[in-house]
């Protein structure tokens, strides 16, 4: 009984992280909330397969990720296009101003392949270890490392290009150095 309550509290507590991960994957907030809903139902139904004491958040992320890819396979890629994501992806313009703002970053992130995007999100933002991320993505630790590295390189390329006209990459590098004095 107490375990049930803990489980429910755990699920509820994980919702903000699940939503963030779902938006990062699907790039669409309505679809993201449907994914989270489906994840909670699935998690509830297979509660008995969760081992108490292990990482609930990682377990839930695994369910959400599987759900995302199975929906992708079912619905096909055109769903993303109909939401305008592809149009946006093709029409990314360099930023009007030189500093890398959040919108530039969001556009760049959207242009990464799914496997690289999820890897860099899991490691760089969701706070998982490489081992945990490998388990969530059902691949080797080395694969996660190389995806993160490729994602980082690609993001750097994309974002440098968008800032180059005004300031150029050197000044971005100088900014980074400067702001890291602390």
> Of residues 25, 100, 112, 136, which one binds another protein by CB under 8 A?
100
Give the separation between CA 145 and CA 123, rounded to whole angstroms.
Answer: 9
Say how many residues touch another protein, by CB under 8 A: 41
Give residues 19-38 in contact with another protein (rule: CB under 8 A).
19-20, 23-24, 33, 36-37
Where residue 53 falls (left for φ over 0; alpha for ψ -120 to 50; beta otherwise) is left
| Minimum CB distance to another protein smaller for 91 or for 181 | 181
Nearest alpha-carbon partner for 39 in 27, 154, 177, 17: 17
Q: Is 106 in the site for another protein (CB under 8 A)?
A: yes
Give the separation between CA 106 and CA 163, rounded to whole angstroms.
Answer: 14
Give the separation between CA 16 and CA 133, rounded to whole angstroms.
Answer: 18
Residue ranges that bind another protein, judged by CB under 8 A: 4, 8, 11-12, 15-17, 19-20, 23-24, 33, 36-37, 40-41, 44, 100, 102, 105-106, 109, 120-121, 123-129, 148-149, 152, 155-156, 159, 172, 175-176, 180
């Amino acid at each position: 009984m107490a375990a049930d309550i803990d489980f429910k509290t755990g699920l509820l507590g994980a919702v903000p992280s699940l939503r963030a991960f779902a938006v990062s994957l699907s790039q669409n907030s309505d679809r993201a909330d449907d994914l989270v809903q489906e994840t909670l139902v699935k998690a509830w139904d297979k509660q008995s397969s969760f081992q108490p004491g292990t990482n609930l958040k990682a377990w839930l992320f695994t369910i959400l990720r599987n759900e995302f890819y199975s929906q992708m396979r079912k619905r096909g890629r055109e769903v993303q296009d109909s939401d305008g994501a592809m149009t946006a992806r093709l029409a990314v313009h360099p930023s009007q101003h030189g500093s890398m703002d959040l919108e530039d970053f969001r556009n760049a992130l959207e242009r990464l392949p799914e496997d690289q995007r999820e890897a860099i999100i899991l490691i760089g933002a969701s706070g998982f270890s490489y081992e945990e991320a490998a388990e969530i993505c059902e691949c080797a630790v080395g694969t996660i490392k190389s995806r993160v590295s490729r994602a980082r390189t690609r993001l750097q390329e994309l974002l440098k290009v968008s800032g180059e006209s005004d300031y150029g990459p050197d000044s971005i590098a100088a900014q980074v150095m400067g702001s890291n004095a602390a």
